[in-house]
Each structure stands twice: as C-alpha cells, then as structure tokens.
Structure 1
C-alpha cells in the first residue's frame, strides 16, 4: 500500500510506501517521513494499493501520529489548494499544520482526540445586514447564548484586532475558559500554546482574525464572520484566500451553519442572498432550511431583539478649487469645539501634499511604483505612499529649473496645518507609518483629530461629534470596478464612530455622482440595484469569476516579457477573457520586473484550468515567481 504525503513546502504531494503490517487507515493523519535526506512531518492526503508511477523503490513512512483537525480538515485543505491554484504544501503552511504536527510529535497533545458529530449537523450560510457594529456583536452574542449548551466548536472571525477585542470580550463572558484568541500578532510561543489548547480540547471557542478560520478543532458547530465585507479578510501573501469564503466552505464541509454580518455587506454576499444561496436574515419570515428548533429559535430571537439604529446625517460638499477644507466644515468644527466636542478630519494621503511644476508640469514619481510622491514638510523629503521610498525635496524643478512650484492634493500634514490655523487649536495626527506599526496614541484628549482611515479603525469606542472626509474622490476615481462599493463601505464604517445626532461631511469634486444620493439617504437597496446592474452589463463579479496572475522577478530576466506573452497566447478556452499581460511597477523593493494577467470567466472551472495552464507554461523559469490570486480585491 502507498500513501501520498504533503509537506508544508512549496511542493505537490509525494508518494511513500506504508510499512508492512501498519494500518492503512491513515488518510488525514500526520506522519513522519524522510524528504531530501531529512525527517519531516507531513499529512497523508490519499492512500492507494498501487503507486502512481512505476518505480523500483519508495521511501517508507517512519511514524504515524494522530488526525489533523476534524475529518473535514483534509477536504478543506485540498479545496484551498485547488481553488486558489496552488500546491497542497502551501495550503498546509496556511492552516496551523506545522504547530499541530510539532505538538503531536513532542507528545504535548494526544494523538487521538474524541470526535463526535457536530451539534447542529446542517449547513446554511446566513447574511445579516446590521444597523451598526454594536448590532453585529449583539446578534452574535445572543445567537451563541441560545445554542451554547448544545454546541461544541465555535469560530468567530473579526476583520481587525479592534473588533476582535470586542468579540473576544463578549464570548469570554459567555464561555469563560473555553475561549481561545488567535491572531497574527501572537508570538510563536503564544501561538503554540493556543494551538495546544485547541487540539487538547481545553478550548473549543475560537475568536480571531482571518487565519483563525483554520483553527484545528475536532468539531465545528457554528462559524461567524463579522464585517464580512472587509478587505482585511483577503490575504496578500502566500495563498491569497478570503477568510469569509473559506468560512463558508468550511461550514459546507463540516455541515455547520455560517453567520455573515456587516454594516454594508459586499455586493457578492447581497447577490447570494437575493438568489437564495444565503439566507437573508433581514427578510421577514426567513427560514433556515435544515435547522433544528433550538438553533432556528436562537437566531430568530437574536434578530428580533436588535434595536433600531439612528445614524448621523450625511452632507455632500461640492469642493471649490484651491480649497483644502470647505468653510461649512470649518464652521461646524468650530461649533463642536466651542461646545466641548470632538471632530475627526479624514484624508487618505500622508505627508503635506503633492507637488507640480507650473512651467513644465513635472511631478516627482516613485522610481519603482511610478506613482506621484508626497512632499513631507516636516523633514522636506518626498515619500512614496506605497513602498516607502524617499527622495530629497527640491525648491526648483529638476527638469526645467523653474522655481514656480505648486502644492496640491492635501495630505495629513497640510490638513493639520489648516485646522490649527483656522480653528486656533492643536490637532492630533493619527496615521500608520510605512513599514512599522504605529504607537498606541490616545485620541480621547484631542478635540481635533486628523488622520487616514487608520484613525477611524483605531477609534474603538471613542465617539466623535462630527467628521469630514476631505478626499473621498481618491477612492471613487480609482480605476477599479469596486470603487463605489469601497467608498460606500468606508463611509458606513466611519458612521460607527460618529454620534447619531451629528453630521458627516463628504467633500467631492463631483456632487452629481449617484453614489452620494444613496449615501445621504442610506439607501442601500438603490445602491445595490445600481451596482449590480452595472456589474452585470460589464460582466464583472458576481456575474463572473476573476483571477489575477502575477509574474515577477528579482533580477532583470532576459526575454521575460516575450516568455510571458508566449505563455498567455497559447491558452484558449470557451468563455474565457484574457486581459494583458501588462507590465506593472514591482510590488516590493526586492523585485525588478512584474507582469499582470487578468482572467475572466463565468465558469470557475474554466478560470482554474486557464490559470494552471498559464502558470504551467511559466514553470521552471529561473529567477521567476508566478502565482494566482483568485477573486482578487486589488487589480
């Protein structure tokens, strides 16, 4: 008998011989075997009577340990690798396999754990459009409280650590020591301790960020995804999975219900609820097919118990040329300050401003990313907002030597300067510095806060008495079919930290855009109707599937462009649309060349076949990396 074993390496599975007399019931189990002359821990993905290829001698499995996670863990790993056009080895690296395997080998956790049928025993994905993030938290807490006596194995995902703290606090009050928190900032020691508690069965309620969806529980009876629309669930390294989509698939495989919630659900999830794939919990008389009375009653009671939400008014300001902050916004901020309140100014650009020569039109751009660099007045340097590259500032144009330079497109430094000049009070700047985490600034004592969207995310429970988004056009004018959706979601997130009896101001150079009217009236239905109609006419998700293939090199590879074109031109499938390849600025300082290929198809199977074919054509090229980003968030 033979076993195909996957190792947590960038490899496909390898075939080994099962020793004579050993049990052949080892699929899904952790084993020790030699690879490259060294012992390694891997996962048995399949067992067969005959080897896949004729070979005189196969290496033998050296030792067999326990099962990795539940019986559904292996199907989930295989799906993860297949759907994201990657290797099983890379999928293993994604899902806490190395920690679990090391613990089993050391004997710190039992090789065999009790596995019973999940308490719910049915699958359904449910979507709840919450009036506020507090409603989301309340819905989750009320639901799990109603099923806690008949549930073993709960996973609750949060998009960011701020939301995670709130969710973990609520679950700890319900489940006590059964709770375990998993997120990317845990030290290796703390992560190993958390996985040990999960595998041993001491913790069966998991609260965490994106990767916690892979918690190696022996049973899963309920999964929740708060803020399901959030970009934070989409990975940008390794296998580029979406935590929300993995949660739905894990629920399907484990036969467990999945609760998706958001203050502004993604267009894909809204479409799925409209077409019946998800249960729309906001609909009157909703029915969860297959649910037992206890679970159905718990969800219905939780939904009916949500309080009606009052939101702040949204006012659209048609920005005049040369204005950084509209007089109407300054007037409102002054009134709030006089009353002892607090005002938030948001602008998604760090530094002072962009700079341009009035004579020849020269704008300094990043040599790597090719985007305009922002001038930082404090240290008089130019900085790229993407890669962090810096250049010395200048007082005369490097091209034509003219001294006629204009500053435009205000950043946080300039907004702070304007606020302090016009309002005669100090403003605190909150922004995430490139390449390192920001310190834990306290905003509670500041009347005026200036920042990027990071300031909004960091606000926690701190509520402002008013806010202004000064450059919302920077989102909606991006060449991205999701631009309006991202803007709507960004403003709905901002609403969560503003008092309901106050105002939010949106400055724009195009006040006639349909998006603004929908935002002013909180008309989600009209917004979704319009966006879905636009997407359908253009053939974009959710009416098609997309994959972004990225090819990059750390050195200048001769003929790379021709090789990429050749790899793409030889692939053709019915219903497949290929856009590109196009050369793009390299992502990361280590790379010299980068190409993007966007694939579109209504049938995901066609999309995956085409992706594998193109990547296969590029396989083996020296110094070249190529990977697929299925359902990319950034194009």
Structure 2
C-alpha cells in the first residue's frame, strides 16, 4: 500500500503530496495519521492525506518510518478541509494541517552529532553523549565539529520528537482479601498512624477501591513514598494509568440547570432548527435577536435536539472572556459531555480536551475561533454566537474565517449552521435578505422586560468631573446613585493603559516605539511605556529623552487612568478592571467575572471584552466613556463596529427584574451609528450602512483581497508593491477595482514597512491564479527581505 503524505516543510516546492511505501509492520496507517518519513538527508513529520494501492512513480519508494499516534489525530473530513482551504486562503496545506492540531502536537526537530568510531566518541567534545547542534554556540567547537564531519568521523542525524505528553498517575488497587486486611490490622503497632489509617479505610470502604494516588493523598494525607512502601509489602498493587487534565474542574456543581420554558419567538426559531437537524439539512440560519432575547437558550435546546438524534454539537464564542459564562451554562445542561477549546487553557489541558473530542468521549464542544477545527465526527449542529465579531477572522497565516470553515463543515456533515447575533454582520444579513440564509428573528427580551433606556451625553457641551476630561458629571452622579442602591455598573472604554502618549511641553517630543511608527502607551501599574504592536517596553521617563527638560505630560486616556480617577471621585467604589493587562494569567477572566458576579465589586471597567455575552442580573447601568474610539479608525467598517459595540454593551444593562439604563459619552452624537445604537434599531442601521457601502463599492457589494508587502527597506517594499499593481492592472478588468499601493496607516510595525494594495471585485476568474502565482513568488523574494501577505476578505483595511 502507498501513503500520500504532506510533509512538515512549509514551502512552495514541498506544497504537494509525496508518496511513501507502507511497510507490513505499519498496518495501522490511516488517512489523518501523523507519521515520520525520510525526506532528503533528514527525517520530518508529515500527515497521511491519502492511501492507494498503486503509484505512477517508476523508482523505488522510501518506507514510512513511524506512526506517531495510536489514533489518527485528524479525521478524513479535516484532511479534505485542509485541501479546500489551502486553495481559498493562499496558505500552504501543511500550515492548515498544523493549525488544526493543538500547538503541543507540533513536531520538535533536533540535529544530533553522532560519532562514527570509538576514538571520536572518547573526545572531550562528546563527553560520552551525543551533541545537540542547536545548542552549540562556541566558535571553536563549531570549527571542530565541521572538521569531524569532513573527515567522516562524525555524522549529523535528524530526530523528530513528539512534544505532546499524556498525563499519567498511579492507580492503587487491593492486592489481598478482606480477611488478610483484618489480620494485618491486628498486627499493626498503635503508633503506625499512616498504616492504621490506610488499613482502616480499606476495611470500611473496600468498594471504593481502586483509588488514585491523588485521592489517597487528599483523603488520608498519605505521601507518595508511603504508598510505594505498601506496594512493596504486598498490601496494594498499583498501575500507571492515563488521566485527563480537567479545565472544567472549577465549574462543577456551581450552577444547576434550570428548566426554562421558551417563549413563542424562541419556540418558532427552535422548531425550524430542530427540523433541519432531524432532516439532516446543511441549512444556514441567521438568528437575529435583540440583546437579552434568549438566543443562548435556543442554542441549548437545539444542542439537546442534536444529542437526542445521536449526533454531536459544536458551539463557537468570539472571546475567551465569554467562555466562562457560556461554559457554565452548557456544563450545567450537559455535564461531562462538554469539552472546551480556547487559548486560555494550558497546553496540557488543550491537548487532553482535544484527545477527548477525537476519541468520541465528548459530544458537545464549546470554544473560540480555532475550535472550529475540533475533531468531532457525526456533527449534527454548529452554532456561532455573536457571528458579527471580527475575532472569528484569523489575522495571521493561515487567514481563515471561522464562519467560512463552519459552512464547509455544515455541508460535509449535512447539518444546520446557526449564526446568532443582536447585530449580524452586513454580509450575513445581506445573504439572509437574498434567501441564502434563513432569517429567524427574536424581537423581544426573553423576560418581556423593556430594553434599557439609552442617553447620549454630548462631550462638547458637558461639565467634567475631576481634571482628566474623561467622566462627565452626569455619568458620575448616575454611578453614585446606582451604588447607593447597591446595584452594579459596567463601564466600557475601548483603550487600555494609562495614557496614549508622552509629550514634552518644552520641545514637542513624543516618545515613539523604535520598531513601529506609533507612540508608546503609558502603563502606570508596571511603570512602563509600552508598544501595543510589537511589545517593546521602556521605563517611564522622569525627563524628556530629547531635551532633558522635566516639562513632560502624559496625554490621552486608558482604562488604568479611568480606574484611578474613579477611585478619587467615588472612594467607596470597589472596581474590577478587565483588559489585556489584567487577564494575562491563566484563569484570570473567570476570576474577575466570578468576583463581579458574586458582588465583590460594584463597578466592572474594561475594554470591548466586557461588551458582549455577559449576564449579570444586578447590573442596572452601563456607561460608555468614549463612543468615538472605534468610530475614528480609518476603516470601511468603522461605523458597523461602533454600532455593534454600543448595541452589545447596552444590552448588558437591565437583564433581570431591575430596570436598565445606558449612558453613552460621545463627541459625535449626531452620527447615524451612535444615534441608531441609542434606539438599538438594527434594521435602520442596516439600510443606512448598506447605502454607504454601495456608494463606496465595499463589501457586501464587492469581495475584497488585501495584498500587503513588507520589508525593512521602505523603498524595496514600495517598489515590489508597484510591480504587483502593474501585474494586476494588466490582467484584471472592470468592474474590478485596484486601489494602491499606499503605506499602511501605521507605516512601520516590528521594523517592517508595509505597503498595501486592495482589490475589490464581483466576479474575477483571473484573480485567483494571479494570487497563487504571487504566493509562489513570495517564497522566492523572502530571501531578499521582502514579505508578501494575501488576506482574503480582510476584517481590517488600514
């Protein structure tokens, strides 16, 4: 039998199938298997993407060397999916195959120097061990090694190591009968406390064995050393067993599932989805429901229908911060059937959850973007919550959109896809308008309560509280009023840090990142000036680095500064801040939200991660500190993102019995995105924004491709960008539009200058072949210090 393998080398020359003979001892090779193969002078990992009985190759095929896993890590569906996506999003197939797996399953390659004779092996260089060449940095040693290779006294070997490690623990079982333990008990000395504890537990709780080492250590306070002695005495026997790390351990028993009766609108939506599950239709539903309309409950009932039909379910949420609350609900409903996949898990937890899914031990998967590749088989339902969110688009290679992947998986499994949002993306809403998706609408809140009352505060005409010009007197007074009633407040400012930039009043110097064309942001809690693009940090200066004067000011605002100002204005307030800086540690999202949910703080201040999905019954006020931050971004969808953000965060108020209020501070109260967010009028916004997009020839009326050229040499980047532009202009014709090349709005990032070309088209058969040619060309010119990135349907064009 012949295995068709994609090797772990991401390059144009290797982006194809290589054939290998399957030796008789490797009969367990299947499509999706991870294997080690000889490739030139080295060994590399690869994935089996096909198996055949014959080959057209006339020479002798090399043999597969190793099958890495007992169970193929990828399903045949995911292997097929990688081929389709590679053609659509201009990525090498191996890159997609690797993306589908947990990062820990990526191969670790080592170059080892091995002596070829006994005399060489005795050299002090080897010290009786092989040498890992990746760790050799001494120049004298490098010269010696080179000489040994030339004289054929040593050779280089390439090792492929699997970084993924299973968690194992000892399981202790009874080695004797009940009478034997009674005899042992009679002989144990009274001061042998641990022996007494163990034998007493065995006699009284015989049915609870076998027990893990962890159980015995926690229940009886027995050490690993003591347990080892009991095995040596023949009292217990032990086995090393595989166990899973449990990322849901903290969710157990927190919330009991409640029986909720759906209202007529929810029932109508569920009925349509259930019918598609039953009839195995790959139908796409757009569930458009106002904030608080009970979309989550529709999801949970639909998942139940999929499980009842003997099939599995996949549910995506956009932000890791949404996962704790969503998992809480799904876990309460479906228990141990639930697995989670998101970047907040440790590598070990992610590996274990992924294996549970692959082995069919979890029927419901909840996760962020990359969970769309969960190795579920027999999928009966796919849900994408808050489908409008830009976080579903991967911003670096491979630049896939989770919605597009979900559509392909829905087609493969003949199952419905549900896209849910209070503010659907214009593209999805337009498809529903055309009948490509079926529109299901929830027009009322599930508890029949009114939507919160929204007040716009014009910052051009208000009095500010404090001296920072961030918080109006009206907003501060309303916060105090809510706190006096022991109610909670959510405040949104979509900008982290303390100040946006440092300015010297003597010479006008602004402290900038040395690697990027952007000013550094002040982070007061860490005492650092930081770049949010490349991560560069430097201490906050006491005087101007340019003129050495002390007349420096820190201007602009961020979540840290607002937190400090709130503490001055409302000393009695207990504030939790939620942004990238406070949520770096594992589990920090859940800790912050649990504290707020338990009433340990009365104000939750954060960036856009707090704007959606959160459900706290005691929150009666939402304040938006500056609604204009997303409106001023130079992007075609800035108005849509602003409307979405304001509508979503407004929906966090008044979700239970208490009436909700929203106060939005803005310098542009007359802008249609802000005006219509005040009334949460999505339909009017959709009509207005579609007119604007039509006039500008932007999505969803045109498809778009963004081509970025980057280099440390600005002239080189510009020159090649114009070469690309000329090629496009020669081959493409109206109504296709080619814009650029122009410098990116942030011209330099990580010491690379960026030039961009935007292609807008309706139907252009020649474009895809040209872009694949460009992808191949990019491999060659990389040696010249030029990087080319192709982004199909970009979320951001800046």
The alpha carbon displacement at 1:565 in A equals 3.0
Q: What residue number does 2:441 align with?
A: 282
Matched, 1:10 2:13: no
The alpha carbon displacement at 1:503 in A equals 1.6
CA-to-aligned-CA distance 1:129-175 (integer Å, 9 cap, x gap): 12336712101112222343213121111223343334434444444
2: CA distance, partners of 1:519 / 1:457: 14
Q: What residue number does 1:154 align with?
A: 313
Q: What residue number does 1:30 align with?
A: 33
Q: What residue number does 2:679 align with?
A: 521
- Alignment check: 8 A CA contact 1:352 1:374 kept: yes
2: CA distance, partners of 1:146 / 1:425: 48
Matched, 1:370 2:517: yes
TM-score by length of 1: 0.83
Residue of 433, 439, 454 corresponding to 1:314: 454
- Alignment check: 8 A CA contact 1:388 1:435 kept: no
Q: What residue number does 1:511 align with?
A: 669
The alpha carbon displacement at 1:44 in A equals 2.0
User: Which residues in structure 2 correspond to 1:47-126 (within 5 Å)?
Assistant: 51=56, 56-61=59-64, 70-96=75-101, 120-126=279-285
Matched, 1:422 2:569: yes
2: CA distance, partners of 1:312 / 1:227: 20
The alpha carbon displacement at 1:448 in A equals 3.8
Q: 1:557 to 1:506 in 2, by over 3 A?
A: closer
The alpha carbon displacement at 1:402 in A equals 7.8
Matched, 1:163 2:343: no
Deviates most, 212-221 or 182-191: 182-191
- Alignment check: 8 A CA contact 1:599 1:607 kept: no
User: Which residues in structure 2 correspond to 1:294-443 (within 5 Å)?
Assistant: 307-308=447-448, 310-320=450-460, 323-349=469-495, 350-352=497-499, 354-356=501-503, 362-376=509-523, 382-391=529-538, 393=540, 408-426=555-573, 428=575, 430-434=577-581, 437=584, 439=588, 440-441=591-592, 442-443=595-596
- Alignment check: 8 A CA contact 1:549 1:596 kept: yes
State the secondary structure of the residue aligned to 1:251. helix
When the two chains are superposed, the root-mean-square deviation of aligned CA atoms in Å is: 4.0
Q: 1:605 to 1:503 in 2, by over 3 A?
A: farther
Matched, 1:263 2:422: yes
CA-to-aligned-CA distance 1:307-326 (integer Å, 9 cap, x gap): 54532111111102773222
2: CA distance, partners of 1:597 / 1:186: 37
- Alignment check: 8 A CA contact 1:120 1:257 kept: no
The alpha carbon displacement at 1:278 in A equals 0.7
Matched, 1:540 2:698: yes
The alpha carbon displacement at 1:359 in A equals 7.2
Q: 1:20 to 1:206 in 2, by over 3 A?
A: closer
1: CA distance, partners of 2:632 / 2:46: 49
State the secondary structure of the residue aligned to 1:476. coil
The alpha carbon displacement at 1:42 in A equals 1.3
State the secondary structure of the residue aligned to 1:280. strand
CA-to-aligned-CA distance 1:531-559 (integer Å, 9 cap, x gap): 11111221111112222233445x65994
The alpha carbon displacement at 1:453 in A equals 2.9
2: CA distance, partners of 1:605 / 1:593: 31
The alpha carbon displacement at 1:38 in A equals 1.5
Computing the radius of gyration over CA atoms, which structure comes out larger, 1 or 2?
2
Q: How many residues align?
A: 603
1: CA distance, partners of 2:74 / 2:571: 60
Residue of 754, 763, 776 corresponding to 1:603: 763
The alpha carbon displacement at 1:94 in A equals 1.3
Matched, 1:566 2:723: yes
2: CA distance, partners of 1:586 / 1:437: 28
Higher RCO, 1 or 2 (CA under 8 Å, sep at least 6)?
Answer: 1
- Alignment check: 8 A CA contact 2:292 2:445 kept: no
1: CA distance, partners of 2:634 / 2:572: 38
Deviates most, 351-360 or 331-340: 351-360
State the secondary structure of the residue aligned to 2:693. helix
The alpha carbon displacement at 1:411 in A equals 2.5
State the secondary structure of the residue aligned to 2:677. helix
- Alignment check: 8 A CA contact 1:353 1:414 kept: no
1: CA distance, partners of 2:28 / 2:550: 78
- Alignment check: 8 A CA contact 1:550 1:628 kept: yes
- Alignment check: 8 A CA contact 2:385 2:420 kept: yes
> 5+ residue gaps in structure 1?
109-117, 284-302
1: CA distance, partners of 2:576 / 2:331: 34
- Alignment check: 8 A CA contact 2:426 2:686 kept: yes
1: CA distance, partners of 2:3 / 2:73: 16
Residue of 279, 300, 303 corresponding to 1:141: 300
Matched, 1:486 2:641: yes
